[in-house]
Amino acid sequence: MMYPFLTLEDNTEIVHSEQLENGEVKVYIETPDEKDCFHNMTCYLPSYRLEVNGYTTEDVNYYLDIIKSTAHLIIEFSKEGGFMNVSDF
């Protein structure tokens, strides 16, 4: 199951998984692109292992900064069924 986490001004979506059996959390980032349809990146927490498709090094560093600054929240939310379950909305 993937849970919504953040939508950026350029329609980039950041979602995350439940905590996986191996203890990792999959964070998936996807940005619409007119030429290529979508660029995407997967980051596995807590190791920050990356799989990148279509993003520049500058893009990767930008999104990695976002993930690093919110990793503690993403990991917590992954244990509780996403932001909506934690926030009681």
Q: Does residue 89 form part of some domain? A: no
Q: Does residue 10 form part of some domain? A: yes
Q: Does residue 12 form part of some domain? A: yes
Q: Does residue 86 form part of some domain? A: no
The string of pLDDT tens digits covering residues 44-64 is 999 999 999 999 999 999 999
What pLDDT does 42 receive?
98
Higher-pLDDT residue of 86, 46: 46
Q: In total, how many domains does the chain have?
A: 1
Q: Does residue 43 form part of some domain? A: yes
Q: Does residue 88 form part of some domain? A: no
**Model pTM?**
0.89
Q: Does residue 87 form part of some domain? A: no
Q: Does the pLDDT value for residue 22 go beyond 80?
A: yes
Domain ranges, residue 74:
2-80
Average pLDDT, the chain: 92
Q: Cα torsion at 28, 2, 45, 57 (round to 10°)?
A: 0
